[in-house]
Amino acid sequence: MSFGDPNNPYGQPQGQQPGYGYPQQPGYQQAPQGVPPQQGYGYPQQPGYPGYPQQGGYGMEPSYANWGQRFLGTLVDGLVFLVPYILILVGKNTPALLLVGALALIGLAIWQLIQEGRTGQTVGKKALGIRLVKEETGQPIGVGMAFVRRLAHFLDSIACYLGWLWPAWDAKRQTFADKVCGTIVIRTQ
């Protein structure tokens, strides 16, 4: 076959490849002998974290929220839910008040879940200056994953509530649910 042969779809003479005796194409420069090839595309690697991409949004090492901040954030969230609970308790004999309290409780729970998934912050987390993010990316986890994480908090409770205390001594300040879901709670301030 020759150059331009219809049976040769690549349009080059067979047996010759660019850089091996065949003239180079315009704009292509071959690396000189002895120069190591460039690294591939992707994330720069962090020292001490081989194989993990650089953490987005907070640099080398995030500032993890401590156990006290997490506890107080949960306490504030509990206080936010106190008003609908009181409406439910008071409304036991009044169906309209019971319905208003139940709807307020459900609506507030859904709103908190959406906020945590989209921004990483519930009312309590925002008040304490902490945020829930995905450990790999540093971004909010999304509403679906926030719901899964809430379900995974079951793991924190089954071992005598040890999972809720785990952030007090864990290096990344994670509960069991955080470890399963790949999330961390960081300081925003």
Taking only the tens of pLDDT, the chain with its 189 residues reads 455 556 665 555 555 555 555 555 555 455 556 655 555 554 454 444 443 344 455 456 889 999 999 999 999 999 999 989 988 888 888 888 889 999 999 999 999 999 999 999 999 999 999 999 999 999 999 999 999 999 999 999 998 999 999 999 999 999 999 999 999 999 997
CA nearest to 61, candidates 50, 69, 51, 49? 49
What distances in angstroms separate CA 154 from CA 56, 68, 87, 151, one per listed residue? 29, 20, 27, 6
Number of CB atoms found within 10 A of residue 87's CB: 19
Backbone angles phi, psi at 12, to 5 degrees: -120, 150
pTM of the predicted protein model: 0.65
Domain parsing of the chain, residue ranges: 67-187
